[in-house]
A and B are shown apart, each in its own frame.
Chain A
C-alpha cells in the first residue's frame, strides 16, 4: 500500500460521517492512481456500503452513493472487484453496489449478466446480482429482461420475486422506447402467469410489475383488458371475502386500478369509498359527518335514510340524512353518541371510511299536493332530518315554519341551516336558556293558533312525536312522523322494524319511515325500542 493511500485510509472510519466526507474529498484530489492503489482504496471504501443503512444518519446513504461514484471513476477494471463484493453483500448493501456498477454502462451490464449466467445455483448471488441489474438506466438493459425473467423460473420463490421486482424497476426507470413491441408482449405473458403463483410475495411483485407496465403505457389493448380483469378479481372490489388471501397483493392491484384507460374499464365500478369528508362538532357528543357516497347522493330524497355499518364487527344502524350534495357526491348525517355503535362512529375522523353504507332506503317524505302553511318539528338530533323536507316544502311554495326543541341552549343544533330552509324558526328549550321555555308542543300550540296549518312533520324522540300527533288530531291536520325503529337489513327482509299503524303491522324500513302520526301505535314502538336495552348496555360497558 502506498503512503499516500495509507495516509488517507488511516483516518477513514466508515461509521463517522465527517471522516467519510473528508476521505472522499481527499480521494477526489488524487491523480494518477496505480492499479493497486485503486484496488486498495475501493476495498476500504466499499466498507461503507455495508454500514450505510445501519446508521441513523440520513447523510450516510448519500455518501455511500458518492463513494460508488468515486469508485466508478477509477475505471472499468473495478467491475470484477465490485461484482465479487456483491456476492458477499446483503440486500441493502447490494443497492449501493448496484448504483456504483450502473455507472459503468454497457460494460458493467455485460459483466453482471455474464456472472448472472454463471451462478445459477447460488440463490443468494442471483438475488444480489438482479438487485444490481435493477439500477442500470441505459436502454440496453431492456435486452437483459428476458435473461432476468428466465431466472424467475427458479424453484426458490425469493429468486422469482426478485426477478419480478427487477423487471418492475427497469420498467419504471428505462425509457419506453427501449422496449420493443415483442419484448413488451413477451414480458406481459411471462409475468402474468405469476399472478396466480403460490407465494404471496411472488404474486405481489408480479402485480406491481404489471401495474408499472400499465402505468408506463407498455401494454397492448388486449393485455390491458386481461390485466384489468385480473386486478378486479384480485381485489374482488370488496374487502369482505379476502379475494387474494394476501393483503399485500390486493393493495398492489388496488393502487394500479386508476391507471386503466377508459376504453378498457368502461364499466363504472360502482364503488363508493364511504370516506368521511368532514366532521363537525354540533354539541356535546353530537357530530355532523359528510360522507363520500356518490351513488347514494345522486338518488336520495327527503325523508329517506341510510343503514350504516362503521366496521366489520359492528351492527347495522339506521341513520337519517340531513343533507346531500349531488355534484360532489356526498351525503351528510348527524350522529349523537347514545350507545356503542354511535360512540364508535363519533371516534372516527376525516379520512376514515365506513365499512358499509346502504341507501337511500325507505320512501321519500310525503309532502302536500298544494302549497299551504307547513310546520316542521325537530327534537334533539331530529332537527337535522327535517331540513331536507323543509327545503322541498319551500320549493313547492309553502310557508314553512320550523319548530326546534332541545334541553338547553347548548344542545341546539343546525339552527342556521334550518333558518335557511324555513321562513320562520321557533326555538324552544326545556330550561328556557334560549327561545320559549317549554316543549315543542308549546310552540306548536301558539303556531296553530295564529296560522292555518295544513301539514305537520315531526322527527325526534317518540314521546315528542306522540305529543305532536295528539295536538294536531282534533283539528285533523295532516301529520307525519318519522319512526326510528330498530332495524337490521333495512330492505324488508328481517321484519325487526315492525310498527303498528292503523291496526296493521307495517315495516318501517320500506313502508316508512314516515307514517301518519294519527294512526301510529306509539306505545308499542316505545316498548319495541327497548327490546335490546340490556344488551345495548352490556355492549356499551364492555366497550369502555
Chain B
C-alpha cells in the first residue's frame, strides 16, 4: 500500500529509495537498435514522484533552459494523473518525450535538486519521460488552443529541435508557419544524429505529425540559401519573418596525416549513413557504411558515445580515444555509464597524431601520443600535455567526433547576416534577432553546438520576440554574440 500523499513529511520523503531506470541487459541490447532504457512502470513513477520535496523556491525550475514547472508536474504524477502531468510539461516544453530521453538532466535540473545534496536527486528526466510516454501510449494528447489567425506568415529553416519548438510556439499564437527542411525527413539532428536506441524514430514522427495537425506545413528537399534565399522568402514569397534553425552541421576534422584516408568518417557522416539513410540495412537500403571490425572513435562527447554504441551494434569492436581522462569526458554521465556497460575499449589520455594507411589509402592503424594532465588552470580545467610516448593500434575505421561548426550556407548567401569568426550567427541576446530585420535565429546556429533543450529554450525566446515583431511591437536590436564560443571537445 502506497503511503498517503499528503501525510508524507519531507523527512519521510527523503528516506524513500531512488528508483533506478530499468535498462535492457547490456549483452542483449547491443544486438539491435531497440531503446535501451525501458521506462518507469506506474509504481516506480509513483514512488519516484514521492521523493520530490516540492521546495518553496524550486532550484530545478531555474536550472531548466525552458523553465518547466518541475514540482508541479511531479505533484500530478504523485496524484496519479500522468496525463495532466504531461499537459503541464507541454505548457513550456513541446517535446517532453524527446527531452525526457536526451536532456543532460545531471547538469541541469537534477544537478541543483535539493534531494541530491545528500542523496541521489529526484529522477526528473525519467519522470518527464514517463509522463510523455503515458500521454502518447494512452492518446491523451489534446490539441492546444490556437489563437485567432493573425494573417502573418513565418518561415522556419530547419526542422530540428529549435525549428520544431519555434513552429509550435508561433502556430499557437495564430501565425501561419512553413518549415523548410533540407533533407527528406523532419527532425534534424533528432533523426540523423541521435541513435534510435536513445530516441526511437516514432517519437519524433509523432511530434512532427502533431505539428502538422496544428497546421504547420513541412517542405522537404529545400536548401534555403540555394533554392530560395532569405531575400526570396521575405520579399518574393511573402513571409513576414524568418527563423534560422539550421544547427551546427559542419563537422570538424583532425588535421593530422591520414585524415582524408578511406575509412575515416566524421561522426555526422557515420551516424547519417546509419540513421538517416539506414545503412545498417545495407544492401536493402543502398547506402553503404564500411564499418569494419575495429572502429576507433576520437573524442568522448555525447556524439562519441553514440558512435561507439552504434558501432558496437553493427558488430564491431569500438574503442574510444580521448586526450583527457575519464573524469573530463564531456559526455552526459548516463551515456558514459551506458557505453561502459557495453564492452567498449577505452584509451584515455591518448591523442591521435596520425592515421596510418595501406597502399590503397585505407586506414589500418592509429598512432597516438600518450598525454598527462596538468594542474587545474584558472578555469579549473586540466589541460592535456604531451609526454612524447607514442603507441600504435590496429583499426580499420576511424570516426571523428570532435564537434561541429555552424553550417555556412545561409550566412554565405546573405550579406546582411553577420557572423563571428567561428561562423556563429550573431544575434541580440534578448530577442534572438539577427543583424537582418525580421530574421531571427536559434539553436546551434547561434551557439555553435549545444543541447536539444538549450536550442528549444532559445527557440521559445525567439518565437516570443518574433510574435512581438509580427504584431508590430518594436524589437530591440543590439547585436551581441550569445554564447559565441563554439563548444569543442578539446
Are A and B interaction partners? yes
Q: Are B268 and A493 in contact (CB under 8 A)?
A: yes
Q: Are B182 and A489 in contact (CB under 8 A)?
A: yes
Q: Are B183 and A489 in contact (CB under 8 A)?
A: yes
Chain A: minimal CB distance from B415 (Å): 16
Q: Determine the chain A residues whose CB is within 8 A of the CB of B284 once the complex forms.
A: 313
Q: Determine the chain B residues whose CB is within 8 A of the CB of A19 once the complex forms.
A: none
| Bound form: Cα–Cα A491–B266 in Å | 14
The one of A315, A357, A495 in contact with B221, judged by C-beta atoms closer than 8 angstroms, is: A357
Interface hits, A479-524 → B, CB 8 Å:
488-496, 498-500, 505, 510, 524
* With known contacts A236-B212, A531-B290, A356–B360 Cβ distance under 8 A: no
| Bound form: Cα–Cα A524–B282 in Å | 26
Chain A: minimal CB distance from B68 (Å): 27
Q: Are A493 and B184 in contact (CB under 8 A)?
A: no
Q: Which residue of A lies closest to B189 (CB)?
A: A493
The one of A269, A309, A361, A536 in contact with B288, judged by C-beta atoms closer than 8 angstroms, is: A536
Q: Determine the chain A residues whose CB is within 8 A of the CB of B259 once the complex forms.
A: 498, 505
Q: Which residue of B lies closest to A236 (CB)?
A: B212
Q: Is B140 an interface residue (CB 8 A)?
A: no
Q: Determine the chain B residues whose CB is within 8 A of the CB of A524 once the complex forms.
A: 260, 361
Instruction: Render A207-233 as a binary contact track against B, CB cut-off 8 A, 1 for contact.
Output: 000000000000000000000010011
Q: Is B317 an interface residue (CB 8 A)?
A: no
Q: Are B222 and A270 in contact (CB under 8 A)?
A: yes
Total count of chain B residues near the partner, CB < 8 A: 58
| Bound form: Cα–Cα A368–B262 in Å | 35
Interface centre among B176, B183, B290 (most CB of A within 10 A): B183
Q: Determine the chain A residues whose CB is within 8 A of the CB of B192 once the complex forms.
A: 493
Q: Is B407 an interface residue (CB 8 A)?
A: yes
Q: Which residue of A lies closest to B273 (CB)?
A: A488
Q: Is B323 an interface residue (CB 8 A)?
A: no
Which stretch from B90-98, B249-257, B337-345, B461-469 is at the chain A interface?
A: B249-257
Q: Which residue of A lies closest to B269 (CB)?
A: A494
Q: Is B56 an interface residue (CB 8 A)?
A: no
Q: Which residue of B lies closest to A310 (CB)?
A: B286
Q: Determine the chain B residues whose CB is within 8 A of the CB of A494 once the complex forms.
A: 251, 266, 268-269, 272-273
Chain B: minimal CB distance from A67 (Å): 49
The one of B185, B255, B283 in contact with A240, judged by C-beta atoms closer than 8 angstroms, is: B185
Interface hits, A295-349 → B, CB 8 Å:
295-296, 299, 304, 309, 313-316, 340-341
Q: Is B209 an interface residue (CB 8 A)?
A: yes
Chain B: minimal CB distance from A478 (Å): 23
| Bound form: Cα–Cα A532–B185 in Å | 25
Total count of chain A residues near the partner, CB < 8 A: 61
Q: Determine the chain A residues whose CB is within 8 A of the CB of B255 once the complex forms.
A: 505
| Bound form: Cα–Cα A233–B265 in Å | 38
Which stretch from B76-84, B223-231, B384-392 is at the chain A interface?
A: B223-231
Q: Are A237 and B219 in contact (CB under 8 A)?
A: yes
Q: Is A449 an interface residue (CB 8 A)?
A: no
Q: Are B221 and A358 in contact (CB under 8 A)?
A: yes
Q: Are A270 and B213 in contact (CB under 8 A)?
A: no
Interface hits, B159-217 → A, CB 8 Å:
176, 178, 180, 182-186, 192, 205, 208-209, 212-213, 215, 217
Q: Are B223 and A361 in contact (CB under 8 A)?
A: yes
| Bound form: Cα–Cα A534–B180 in Å | 36
Chain A: minimal CB distance from B141 (Å): 13
By a beta-carbon cutoff of 8 Å, the part of chain A in contact with chain B is 229, 232-233, 236-238, 240-241, 243, 266-272, 295-296, 299, 304, 309, 313-316, 340-341, 355-361, 488-496, 498-500, 505, 510, 524, 527-528, 530-532, 534-536, 538-539, 542-543
Please name 17 further chain A to chain B contacts, defined as beta carbons within 8 Å, in addition to the given A267-B217, A510-B408, sorted by A numbering. Answer: A233-B212, A240-B184, A241-B205, A272-B221, A295-B228, A316-B277, A341-B286, A358-B221, A359-B226, A489-B182, A492-B250, A492-B409, A494-B268, A505-B253, A532-B288, A539-B283, A542-B283
User: Can you pick out 9 interface pairs between chain A and chain B where the beta carbons lie within 8 Å of each other?
Assistant: A269-B219, A270-B219, A488-B277, A492-B249, A495-B265, A500-B260, A524-B361, A527-B262, A534-B290
